[in-house]
Structure 1
Amino acid sequence: MIDSSGTPGAPVAGRYVLVDRIGAGAMGSVWRAYDVRTQAWVAAKVLTQTNSAMLLRFVREQGLRIRHPHVVAPTGWAADDDVVVFTMDLVRGGTVADLLAEHGPLPTEYAAVLLDQLLQALCAVHAAGVVHRDVKPANLLLEVTGRARPHLRLGDFGVAATTDAVRLTSVPGMVGTEGYASPEQAAGAPPDPSHDLYAAGRVAIQLLTGVPPLLQRGVPEGPLAPLLASLTATDPADRPRSAADAQRRLLLIGAEHSLGGFRPRPDGPEVHDRLGEASMPLRQSLALPEAAARRTRSSAQVLTAAACFASAIALCAVALTRLLG
């Protein structure tokens, strides 16, 4: 954990060393962490409250195991006294919100790639019986690709729910983020995949215009306009039947308007490494578990023994040569 001076301390549950804070989510802060057991970097979300509703959301989120290249779902968890964390892949390119803040409106081809990948992620999420309920640029992570084809990953399942889940809100009201939430979601309707499709449409409009949902005025002109109008329809019956249906429509538009042939531009959007390098945790500074130290010592001992054995063989060979010679 991190002590009062900001210095990394003992690993949480003897496993995860929290090194530096890299963001915040719906349920708590997000840290770059070192997994002592696997000796790999991970992202770790630290639960900030321990009331029953938050704990139930935590259990629900850490239980998600949706394996898909465009989804960042929890991979492990640990608890240590009143500290609870769960871990996921460390994604280093920031978020779509960061990209928009730096670049502004994105080229149509670039926006189409991001929308396609988001719809792929929603296909996997909805197939697992889960509704994300908070699709927005800040929850769309980006792998580091420079100016090449972007790689989006949907993250932060803090308010996600299954369609048959027990409601975690005691009174009707909005779950999600204003502007991205569909009208019926904002009114407290039960979780439904169509809510995520509406949010995806709002996100896509923002990709093309740079304008957040509360300031958007209709759908921008262009080849994606019919699909975006359908995704953001007030009546859910007028939206695509599913994320897969929306993706099929997008692919047809791409084939017709050559949006699938993405080519990097010298002045195009760039997804760079926003985290930088971090020092490998050392036992002396981070109080890693004895098991890890023993493994390190054992490795050194094995190498030393191997060197001695090799030297002995060499000496024997020399002696044998002299005897036979």
Structure 2
Amino acid sequence: MARKIGSRYTAHQILGRGSAGTVWLGEGPEGPVAVKLLREDLASDQELVGRFVQERTALLGLEHPHIVTVRDLVVDGNDLALVMDLVRGTDLRTRLERERRLAPEAAVAIVADVADALAAAHAAGIVHRDVKPENVLLDMQGPLGPGGAHPALLTDFGVAKLIDSPKRTRATKIIGTPDYLAPEIVEGLPPRAAVDIYALATVLYELLAGFTPFGGGHPGAVLRRHVTETVVPLPGIPEELWQLLVQCLAKAPASRLRASELAARLREQLPTLAGIPPLEVDEPDPAEEETTEAVPAAPGAPEPVRRKGAVPLVPGARPDSNRDTHTSMRVPAPDELAGGAHGTARVPRAAGAPRPGSARHRAAVRRRRITLGVAAATLAAVAGIGVWLASADGDDPPPRPSHSTSAP
């Protein structure tokens, strides 16, 4: 069912739903567009509407080959919408779900494109604040790059900043997607350009490994890992690329590269990555796998819906990921960040090895203990027989056991 968005645009079809609103396939004076219509409760917030209008000039002026261009910002009654270019392709989360992990050359080419987009945004004084695979679109009509990667475009600029208004998030709350939040955000510091670099490095790690370095389990545990844990090396990753990742995942924002530096350094790595297959590692943390196992539905009940995918500005998009873009979380207290973190690092395993703590791992430990126990008993029995045979072959009978008593 079509609906009017302002006086210039018509929304025809829902492409996807996210935590901040709904993305529509629309039509404008210059052809097809993607319209992100924010939730009604956001549109009724006059403070947010004011911030929306203030961001108009900055967002409309943000143009770059690797940024999804914002064509218009519409404020019309209860409608608050961003009108953007329609990208013919898919989003990075969908590709990651399909392939699990990418070859290093393709992963680095995609991330280099996004780093270029961030460099342009940061130069304009705009921090994205929500860099993640859901917000990276792959233009399937664009020319193929290194590793067969399609051009990558970053979208959803300004949305996190609009949602994160003082009225909605007090000093004890943070806005963002837990897996990609920089440590300084967790500690309550204001977001600077370095938070985007940390998030993008997390995305690169995820493209290579198939999982994020600090994700898994309860959001509070994820936040604590960002502050207290050190990223663990990935088996098989080239050393120079790994050192680049480590620098951009540094806890101290000043230690990270700028976006332009990151893009240049990544492209320098591309010739050395040609032909390297995807890494053979398995996700270390069983928490997510164990909590997302299918639960049998009651007789006659519909199958449970798995909320995966993203809200890309593309035709045929699927629903938003359960890693919501604007999840409001409590900032952990200093004692919470300092305590309980030991042992929570997610250590990647060789492919096929059981996850520590999983049922498969515990069964393997039990089998190993039983095997060792049987082997020890067998050795003891063999040793005993050997002593008896040695005694039987001698001239004297084996000595009787002696019993001693202690003096009174």
Q: Same fold (TM over 0.5)?
A: yes
- Structure 2: gaps spanning 5 or more residues: 217-224, 226-230, 277-312, 317-408
Distance in 2 separating the partners of 1:117 and 1:138: 15
Contact map agreement 1:92 1:144 (CA 8 A) in 2: yes
CA distance 1:80–1:53, shift in 2 (3 Å): closer
- Matching residue of 1:52: 46
- Cα distance, 1:195 vs structure 2: 0.6
2:126 to 125, 130, 135: 130
Distance in 2 separating the partners of 1:177 and 1:203: 12
- Structure 1: gaps spanning 5 or more residues: 1-6, 263-272, 277-325
Contact map agreement 1:133 1:176 (CA 8 A) in 2: yes
Contact map agreement 1:26 1:156 (CA 8 A) in 2: no
Q: What residue identity is the alignment partner of 1:246? A: L
Decide which moves more: 61-70 or 21-30.
21-30
1:222 to 232, 237, 247: 237
Contact map agreement 1:57 1:159 (CA 8 A) in 2: no
Contact map agreement 1:16 1:34 (CA 8 A) in 2: yes
Distance in 2 separating the partners of 1:81 and 1:274: 26
| Paired positions, count | 251
2:268 to 246, 252, 257: 252
Contact map agreement 1:135 1:200 (CA 8 A) in 2: yes
Contact map agreement 1:140 1:153 (CA 8 A) in 2: yes
Q: What residue identity is the alignment partner of 2:237? A: G
2:94 to 83, 94, 98: 98
Provide the secondary structure at the position in 1 that maps to 2:96: helix
Contact map agreement 1:115 1:200 (CA 8 A) in 2: yes
- Matching residue of 2:156: 156
CA distance 1:57–1:22, shift in 2 (3 Å): farther
- Cα distance, 1:250 vs structure 2: 1.7
- Cα distance, 1:53 vs structure 2: 4.3
Distance in 2 separating the partners of 1:122 and 1:137: 14
CA distance 1:205–1:152, shift in 2 (3 Å): same
CA distance 1:77–1:13, shift in 2 (3 Å): same
- Matching residue of 2:194: 194
- Cα distance, 1:26 vs structure 2: 5.4
Contact map agreement 2:70 2:84 (CA 8 A) in 1: yes
Q: What residue identity is the alignment partner of 1:238? A: S
Q: What residue identity is the alignment partner of 1:237? A: A
Q: Indicate whether 1:87 and 2:88 are aligned.
A: no
The TM-score, its normalising length taken from structure 1, stands at 0.70
Provide the secondary structure at the position in 2 that maps to 1:68: coil
Distance in 2 separating the partners of 1:251 and 1:12: 41
Distance in 2 separating the partners of 1:151 and 1:110: 10
2:11 to 14, 18, 26: 18
Q: Over residues 261-317 of structure 1, what are the superposed CA-to-partner deviations in whole Å (9 max), with x where a residue is unaligned?
A: 99xxxxxxxxxx9626xxxxxxxxxxxxxxxxxxxxxxxxxxxxxxxxxxxxxxxxx
- Matching residue of 1:275: 315
CA distance 1:142–1:120, shift in 2 (3 Å): same
The TM-score, its normalising length taken from structure 2, stands at 0.56
RMSD of the TM alignment (CA)? 2.7
Distance in 1 separating the partners of 2:26 and 2:263: 35
Percent identical across equivalent pairs?
33
- Matching residue of 1:320: none
Contact map agreement 1:120 1:244 (CA 8 A) in 2: yes
Provide the secondary structure at the position in 1 that maps to 2:81: strand
Distance in 2 separating the partners of 1:84 and 1:25: 15
Q: What residue identity is the alignment partner of 1:43? A: A
Q: What residue identity is the alignment partner of 1:182? A: A
CA distance 1:133–1:274, shift in 2 (3 Å): closer
CA distance 1:187–1:69, shift in 2 (3 Å): same
CA distance 1:32–1:112, shift in 2 (3 Å): same
Provide the secondary structure at the position in 2 that maps to 1:227: helix
- Matching residue of 1:295: none
Distance in 2 separating the partners of 1:73 and 1:178: 26
